[in-house]
Amino acid sequence: MIILAAFRLNKMNVRAVVLLVAFLLLFSLLFTRVGYIQVNKTVNGQELQAMAEERWTRKQAVEGKRGTIYDRFGDALAEEIPSYTLVAILDKNSRNRVEDPKLAAQKLAPIVERDPADLEKLLSAEGRFQVELGIGTKNLSLEKKQEIEELKLKGITFRKEPRRYYPKQNFASHVIGYTERDMSRARMGLESSLNDYLEKEDGFIQYLSDRKGIKLPNIEEILETPKNGYDVYLTIDANIQMALEQIMSQVEERYEPERMMAIVADPKTGEILAMSNRPSFNPNFYEEITNYTNFTVSSRFEPGSTMKMYTLAAAIEEGVYNGDELYQSGSYQIGGRRVRDHNQGLGWGKIPFDEGFQRSSNVAYSILALEKLGSDRLYDYLDRFGFRNPTGIDLPNEANSLIADSHRIDTATTAFGQGSAITPIQQIQATTAIANGGKMMKPYIIKSVVDPNTGKEVTKGEPTVVGEPISSRTANHVLELMHSVVTSPAGTGKPYYIEGFEVAGKTGTAEISNPDGPGYLAGHGQYIYSFMGVAPKSDPQLIVYVAVDRPKIEIYESGSAPVSQIFTSVMKHSLQYLNISPNARSGNRNFLDEGSLIGDYIGKDVANARASLLSTGLDVHIVGTGKKIVSQIPASNTMLLPNEKVILKTDGTTFVMPEIVGWSLRDVMKLASLLDLNANLIGAGFVTEQSIPANSEINKGDYIVIELELPNMSEEEFSPLYEDGEEDKKEIVTMD
């Protein structure tokens, strides 16, 4: 028994020892693991501190703001604004949920422009906590949000988020470009090229919280301040740009051209005051864009006869131009080819070179290029005028020219605007030399980039002289001849005449290469029609360039019709808006010196009102047989140029039709408005016929048919490049 008891005791001791050893091993392992964790502070590769911070730390984004793009006076053209996305709560456990999907859909549908049935289907979705309603319910304005809130629909709420907004719609759209609505990506224009300046960087606020997300007391916050994007100020003048956009849209609607482009610039500084293209687009709806090209900067084409300005300037500067010298117009043989003037090569007999410029004779400029200047000097002046290189304007994707200079015929055709291709902005830069006393100014559109937090300018655009290709004397001589293009009976620029202002300019009609074969397109309207004009001639303050590609003009209309409508409208508006007097001299921009500020004549005696207006040089027309004035056009406090028409309506009961032959379209519309006439207008320009004869009695609501024509309405006959029947000769027929 004793032996058995001893055996059992030994067995228990062994078990105890085994258990003790196992316990010691386990404890050692745990101690080692705890020690390892304490030293390394990681579990399964994850840092404990990071895990704790993730669980107890809250981090909220603090959004920055993308920089705003302004015009020269601080009018916003592109800005970040809050927008709202409509969200419907459907959770059945929520007190604020959509209870009547059909009613909610019916009330929302007209506001968001959706089918009620589609909305009802979305609002009736099963098993969803909340839903978004798609098209029409995203990027809502504050006004639209408030309109929906006024419905007081249960379960309808909003999510606020920033978006990019362009308040002036298709205003300078190719210049500004656009970003995606959430500003995640800048796509084109200045939005893209200046993205590094405009882009924002969001900040954050970080703090410790309990498990419910409530901030712990007496805990220091970490704040990373957001970085707002820089603001950009352009040289664009919103007033001039808006006037340009409006007339461009009107001309586009009427003539449906393939494309149009226009630039307004200050020749003294090189600042771009307005720039527009058609087709255009509204950057708020960028999905609808059909044209991504800023034609004024990124397209090159044969300029046509506007090129003759620079050839003329070169010949005058070199002392080889004699405006009184006669030459034989019509055609000119150059080796195996012949250049013809635009009137089917008939020409105008022997005429002086000055008249050749007015008539836009290709023969005259072939002779100047080949016999007077020579190829080397002509191309040297093209270099001086900057036609070999991009201007360097601060807009993206500027194209360069393509100058033809391999053969003798290239010299002649380049001199009058065919064969070589240049960009509109290159022409603007070159024309600043003519309009600015020989000093050529680099065009620019960015006035400054400003840090909105400090107000300091990060970068600034400044006037830059990039060359002096001609002297001041030559520039003035060219301006005089350009003025004669508009005022001379022989000039091709008569449609660009603006009453009261000295406009100097040059027309251009460029041929277009045939995309389906050799040669050029042919037929009425199958050209690029353009005009480069400056005003006032005595001290140019503005340059306006307009080009219209293949407008759908009537058989009786010339290509100048759409171009002149844009040019004259924008130039006159801009000159008046800038208070530039009709005969401005250097440093004088006071409109009142040469114009008139019309007073209020309503209620005044007819005779006295007429005498007062006539004394200021205005053209006064009285309608009605009464003694007192009851209405007037233009309204009081309107700036008028000498000889502009003022129409006064009296308190009489009988009204007679005035003689309006020779009146402008603008003045006709004044009369029709004042007398409540229904005017049916045929054509454009100046009145040639009126269906109600002068001195006939008229009544309110009468219909009148008015026919108008532009000056110089005879359509030039154009012919394409063709073989003349002799194997060694070719005809080159070009435009004006």
Helix, coil or strand: residue 42:
strand
The DSSP result for 233-299, as a single string, is: EES--HHHHHHHHHHHHHHHHHH--SEEEEEEE-TTT-BEEEEEEES---GGGGGG------HHHH-
The full DSSP string for 459-525 is EE----EEE--S-HHHHHHHHHHHHHHHHSTT-TTGGG--TTS--EEEEEEE--B-TTSSSB--STT
- Asked, as a colleague might, if the bond just before 720 is cis with ω within 30 of 0, I would say no
Parallel, antiparallel or unpaired: strands 259-265 and 272-278: antiparallel
Instruction: Report the first-to-last Cα separation within the chain, whole angstroms.
Output: 139
Q: In this structure, what is the dihedral angle of CA atoms 521, 524, 528, 531, given to the nearest 10 degrees?
A: 150
Mapping DSSP to helix (H, G, I), strand (E, B) and coil, where does residue 311 land?
A: helix
Measured CA to CA, the distance from residue 65 to residue 506 in angstroms comes to 46
Residue type, 123: L
Judge contact between 189 and 396, C-beta under 8 A. Answer: yes
Q: Which of the residues 173, 280, 305, 448 is marked catalytic?
A: 305
**Cα separation values, 133 from 98, 145, 153, 661, Å:** 13, 14, 15, 61
> 412: burial class by Cβ within 10 Å (0-12, 13-18, 19+)?
buried
Classify the C-alpha dihedral 170-176-180-182 as positive or negative: negative
| Position 705, amino acid | V
Q: With the CA atoms of 699, 705, 711 and 712 taken in that order, what torsion angle do they form, in degrees rounded to the nearest 10?
A: -160
Own/partner pairs for 127-130, CB < 8 Å, 24+ apart?
128/90, 128/91, 129/89, 129/90, 129/91, 129/94, 130/87, 130/88, 130/89, 130/90, 130/91
What are residue 512's DSSP bridge partners? none
| Known catalytic residue at 305 | yes
Q: How far is CA 143 from CA 137, 146, 686, 731, in A?
A: 13, 5, 46, 65
The region that residue 40 occupies, defined by phi over 0 for left and psi between -120 and 50 for alpha, beta otherwise, is alpha
SS3 528: strand
The stretches of 545-702 forming alpha helices (DSSP H) are: 560-577, 606-615, 665-675
Just list the catalytic residues: 305
